[in-house]
Amino acid sequence: MNAPFYIAAVVAFLSTFMVVTRRNAVHALLYLVVSLLSVALVFFLLGAPFVAALEVIIYAGAIMVLFVFVIMMLNIGRQTAEQEREWLNPEIWLGPAVLTLVLAGELIYVLSRMHGRAYALSVVSPKQVGIALLGPYVLGVELASMLLLAGLVGAFHLGRREGTGGERRP
Amino acid sequence: MRTLLWLIPALPFAGFFVLAVFGARLREKGVAAIGAGSVGVSAVLAILAGISFITSPPPGGSWTQTLWTWIGVDGFRPAIAFYLDALSLVMTLVVTFVGFLIHLYATEFMSDDEGYSRFFAYMNLFVGSMLTLVLADNLLLLYLGWEGVGLCSYLLIGFWYKDPANGSAAMKAFIVTRIGDAAMAVGLFLIFMNLGTLNIQEIMQKASHTWPRGSGLAVAAAALLLGGALGKSAQLPLQTWLPDAMAGPTPVSALIHAATMVTAGVYLIARTNVLFLLAPPVQAAVAIIGAATLLLAGFSALTQRDIKRVLAYSTISQIGYMFLALGVGAWSAAIFHFMTHAFFKALLFLGAGAVILAMEHEHDMFRMGGLRKELPVTFWTFLIGSASLSALPLVTAGFYSKDLILWYSWSSENGSPWLWAAGLAGALLTSIYTFRMVFLTFFGERKKEAGRRPGRVMTIPLVALAVLSVIGGFAELPRTLGNMPVFSEFVNTVLPPVKAAGEAQSAEAAMQVVTSFVSLAGVYVAYLLFLRKRRYVEGLAATRTGRALHRLWFSGWAFDWVYDRALVQPFFWIARINRDDFVDLFYDGIAWYNGFFHGALSLTQSGKVRWYAMGIALGTVIMVGIAVVLL
Amino acid sequence: MISQVPFEHGLILAGALFALGLIGVMVRRNIIFILLSIEVMLNASGLAFVVSGSRWGQPDGQIMFIFILAMAAAEVSVGLALVIRLYHLYQSLDADRASRMRG
């Protein structure tokens, strides 16, 4: 019964790898969507259907659409892809890759010392999540709402063009 | 009357403040009225205080006016308090009265000088500080006055500051006296450490109880105070500043560098006489230094060309006499000579000032001559002053005071024939150089027209001081001449009497005849050498030894040269070597390493986000690595 | 349809995704790709939370994921606004061009 998890994990890994290595932004974005969907599947398999739905709706839906809009606005085409080719030479890859592999190796080493024992998972229903979210974590919800508001104001402020969006003209 | 004692020093201070703040807006007349008036009122108050002091002597012969406590720190409570006894009364009278006459003289002498109000402000500050010094009832207040007069001396020597030479003369005076003052400050610390007080009367009492005669601490305390006195009174080996101090205006030389400030050392030693009595070696040193100084300065005075420098060396020499008297225990004689010296030396300086003014600021005596007819008043008063300085017998004040010193240097317990011989030789030198000055300036052929004649305001002080230079001596008539020791009886209420070895009266008479003869002989020698037979002295100066001696004496025994080689040049040498202060190497090193690490770290501040991410990743790797190893 | 996965395997997947995201942040010069990589890293950390939550059958892991989601949304909106500004400023998406704060 564990096969779906491992298949989803491999898909997620491979598609994420593709995200990081693509030259064309739109391609990378599509791979990221795949990666997010497979992670959503992993969530579902781990007994968390509510966040699996959120992953699909918000991550793979809303946030990715934002990226698509920006990429379209900036009109990144073949020219940029050519530039990417110049930027992505093996020497640039080497240092960060080694660093990250060391980090990943350390993580895996630590995890492998735990007893790799399977256990029964239980579904944590959306109802439970909702009760906990608006019960003990209500303060966090308020903070998150403020954060989103700040993000909204910040994005508006940064995104408007000088002399067009605001009342003040410089 | 006595409750107004505080006004005596306060008035000159008030005058200083008024002149310092409003002086620039006042006209010359107003400045003169405030400057001379404040000192004049002080003089009147001092005379009134003196009359009431003599007519109704206070119990114990002294009177203290405590104004307020200056500082209160753990048992150390010096007060702002004035102490009036016979000694400080004499000093106060001389300072205020002579000071007033000199101020009066200066109102005319300094007229048309651009620093008129500044001059009187400094002079008033000086008189106030000097009175504080004299009247102080504790050594700390005395030290305040002591430094105050030192400051005024500096300011007034460099009064014409536009000439750099005056500025360096002022600095020289300040620095050289500072050497003595440092010793004196250490002496104050020593006294306070061991006796727990700085009140002069308490010190006198406690010292004689605590310290046995000749004990190390007493010797150290007396020697350190002597150091201060040597610097201020321009005695060997700190005498080099006084001749250069003549760079100041002539009234300043008269007031500060002849009549009052330079005798502060004499006053200090007389005031703390108990300490010096407890330290016989130091007292002997005082006598020897005095004798040596009076001789050396006398020889130097013989060769000077500048009239004021002659008087400066003469002042050093006369203070040497006072030190000699202090050293042999003739305290009252020292104070008596201080008083008469203040009269005749102030007179001589003021007369010299009148001459210099008439000669359009010419100081060189060899370019003067024949002024007898041109400046009659100046001539006669100057002649009286010179006679008094040379101690011509019977009619001059200088005779009585100097004779007393010479007699005690022979006859007192601490006296010796050698000291007497030195004093006698000094007396001969004194009359030679004094009358050399008189003959060169007022006799002989006229070399230059006299310009500005002294007016009435300048004449009054000259006449008044000339009168005092004659009658001042009658305050003390020796045994052989009427036996009326009024002055010493008055002062001896404070100072210990002379321990005379009990010589016969006939010996004293014989001594007086010898002294009189010597001073007259000096006048004759001067007449012969400098008026009649100039070729003798020229021939003498032309020989090789004569030339060498002349150069040596002219330079003041080459003390400046020695100090320059022994102290100043090595200091410059060290300063040159250590131009890049080696202590700074350490701090420069710190600065360099800081700069280096700043450079190194600012390389990481590349402004590139990816580098920062890399840094974070590297940090994470290391942290997790540590965690992995430790787990 | 509950799988019986060892807890560690979930975490290893999260770690692997995180490592890929990190490489992307460090290697890519294009700001868009850097932002995408950051999304990957945030998602991976969220996955670690959810795995841990499901290990003990508690909702807290999922709640942390929701917070991360909110944070990621805010971050992306501000980040993309910055990208647009940067592009207008430099006519380029090169992150290294925006290095005016170098020491």
A107/B624 CB distance under 8 A: yes
Contact by Cβ (8 Å): B383, B438:
yes
Contact by Cβ (8 Å): B604, B615:
yes
Option in B614, B624, B627 nearest A96 (CB): B614
Tokens of B624: 């997790």
pLDDT single digits (tens) A1-31: 578 888 889 999 999 998 888 888 888 889 9
Do the domain assignments include residue C82? yes
pTM of the prediction? 0.68
Report pLDDT for C70: 92
Any alpha helices (H) in B233-330, and if so which ranges?
241-244, 250-254, 264-271, 273-278, 280-303, 307-327
**Tally of CB atoms within 10 A around A170:** 5
Burial B479-498 (b: 16+ CB within 10 A, else e): ebbeeebebbebbbebbeeb
pLDDT single digits (tens) B533-547: 777 777 777 788 888
Contact by Cβ (8 Å): B392, B520:
yes
Any alpha helices (H) in B328-416, and if so which ranges?
331-358, 376-389, 397-411
Which chain C residues are within 8 Å of A44, Cβ to Cβ?
1
Q: Which residue has the higher pLDDT, B131 or B608?
A: B131
Option in B603, B605, B610 nearest C25 (CB): B610
Mean pLDDT, rounded, for B478-484: 73
Contact by Cβ (8 Å): B485, B477:
yes
Distance CA A30, CA A18 (A): 10
pLDDT single digits (tens) B138-174: 889 999 999 999 999 999 998 888 888 888 889 988 9
Question: A residues 88-127 near C, CB within 8 Å?
Answer: 88, 92-93, 95-97, 99-101, 103-104, 107-108, 111-112, 114, 116-124
Distance CA C22, CA C41 (A): 7
Residues 6 or more apart from B178 whose CB is under 8 A from it?
B150, B231
Cβ-count burial of B626 within 10 angstroms (0-12 exposed, 13-18 middle, 19+ buried)? exposed
Q: Would an 8 Å CB–CB cutoff place C65 in contact with chain A?
A: yes
Q: Confidence class of residue B131 from pLDDT cuts 50, 70 and 90?
A: very high
Domain count, chain C: 1
pLDDT single digits (tens) A45-56: 888 888 999 999
Residues 6 or more apart from B201 whose CB is under 8 A from it?
B62, B83, B137
pLDDT of A167 over the 60 cut: no
CA distances from C32 to B597, C36, C76 (A): 35, 6, 10
ipTM: 0.88
Option in A99, A107, A110 nearest B618 (CB): A99
Which chain A residues are within 8 Å of C62, Cβ to Cβ?
48, 50-51, 124, 129
pLDDT of A116 over the 60 cut: no
Do the domain assignments include residue C102? no
CA distances from A160 to A155, A163, B35, B208, C94 (A): 8, 8, 79, 96, 21
pLDDT of A164 over the 60 cut: no
pLDDT single digits (tens) B203-215: 888 888 888 888 8
pLDDT of B228 over the 70 cut: yes
What rounded mean pLDDT belongs to chain B?
Answer: 86
* Closest chain B C-alpha to A128 CA, distance in angstroms: 34
Distance CA B184, CA B284 (A): 19
Do the domain assignments include residue C24? yes
- Which amino acid is it at A116? G
Q: Would an 8 Å CB–CB cutoff place C89 in contact with chain A?
A: no
Do the domain assignments include residue C1? no
A137/C4 CB distance under 8 A: no
Distance CA B491, CA B486 (A): 9
Nearest Cα to Cα of residue B354 among B180, B109, B534? B109
Distance CA C86, CA C100 (A): 12
Distance CA A159, CA A145 (A): 21
pLDDT single digits (tens) B417-457: 888 888 889 999 998 889 888 888 888 777 777 777 778 88
Option in A95, A100, A106 nearest B625 (CB): A106
Give the helix, strand, coil percentages of chain A, each rounded to 5. 75, 0, 25
Contact by Cβ (8 Å): B315, B450:
no
Burial A47-69 (b: 16+ CB within 10 A, else e): bbbbbbebbbebbbeebbebbee
pLDDT single digits (tens) B311-369: 999 999 999 999 999 888 888 888 889 989 999 899 999 988 888 888 887 888 888 87
Q: Would an 8 Å CB–CB cutoff place A150 in contact with chain C?
A: yes
* Closest chain C C-alpha to A129 CA, distance in angstroms: 5
Low-confidence ranges of chain C (pLDDT < 70): 1-3, 103
Report pLDDT for B1: 61
* Closest chain C C-alpha to B601 CA, distance in angstroms: 8
Domain range spanning residue C46? Answer: 9-97
CA distances from B400 to B43, B294, B333, B338, B465 (A): 25, 18, 9, 12, 17
Q: Which residue has the higher pLDDT, B414 or B309?
A: B309
Report pLDDT for C103: 62
Total number of residues shown for chain A: 170
Chains touching chain A through at least 3 C-beta pairs below 8 angstroms are B, C
CA distances from C2 to A115, B410, C59, C92 (A): 21, 130, 16, 48
Mean pLDDT, rounded, for B407-411: 84
Angle in degrees, CA C22, C28, C34, rounded to 5 = 65
Option in A103, A106, A110 nearest B617 (CB): A103
Mean pLDDT, rounded, for B108-112: 83
pLDDT of A165 over the 50 cut: no
Chains touching chain C through at least 3 C-beta pairs below 8 angstroms are A, B
C37/A43 CB distance under 8 A: no
Total number of residues shown for chain B: 631
Distance CA B430, CA B84 (A): 34
Q: Which of A87-101, B176-190, B496-510 has the highest mean pLDDT?
A: B176-190
Which residue of chain C has the CA closest to A113? C8
Burial B580-601 (b: 16+ CB within 10 A, else e): eeeeeeeeeeeeeeeeeeeeee
C50/A43 CB distance under 8 A: yes
Do the domain assignments include residue C53? yes
Task: Specify which residues B80 forms β-bridges with.
Answer: B68
Tokens of B220: 């150290």
* Closest chain B C-alpha to C89 CA, distance in angstroms: 16
Question: C residues 12-31 near A, CB within 8 Å?
Answer: 12-13, 15-17, 19-24, 26-30
pLDDT single digits (tens) B48-79: 988 888 888 888 778 888 888 888 887 788 88
Instruction: Indicate the range of B74-88, B484-498, B597-611 predicted with least confidence.
Output: B484-498
Q: Would an 8 Å CB–CB cutoff place C47 in contact with chain A?
A: yes
Q: What are phi and psi of C28, to 5 degrees?
A: -75, 145
Which chain A residues are within 8 Å of C4, Cβ to Cβ?
1-2, 118-121
A100/B618 CB distance under 8 A: no
Report pLDDT for A169: 45
Contact by Cβ (8 Å): B377, B463:
yes
Tokens of A78: 């073949």
Option in B602, B609, B610 nearest C103 (CB): B602
Distance CA B130, CA B282 (A): 26
Mean pLDDT, rounded, for A133-141: 90
Provide, rounded to the nearest whole percent, the portion of chain A with pLDDT above 90: 17
CA distances from B567 to B176, B419, B560, B564, B571 (A): 12, 31, 10, 6, 6
Mean pLDDT, rounded, for B237-256: 86
Residues 6 or more apart from B616 whose CB is under 8 A from it?
none
Which chain C residues are within 8 Å of A84, Cβ to Cβ?
30
Helix (H, G, I), strand (E, B) or coil at B289: helix
Contact by Cβ (8 Å): C83, C93:
yes
Option in A54, A96, A116 nearest C27 (CB): A96
Cβ-count burial of B518 within 10 angstroms (0-12 exposed, 13-18 middle, 19+ buried)? buried
**What DSSP designation does B555 have?**
T
pLDDT of A35 over the 60 cut: yes
Contact by Cβ (8 Å): B259, B98:
yes
> What's C88's domain CATH number?
1.10.287.3510
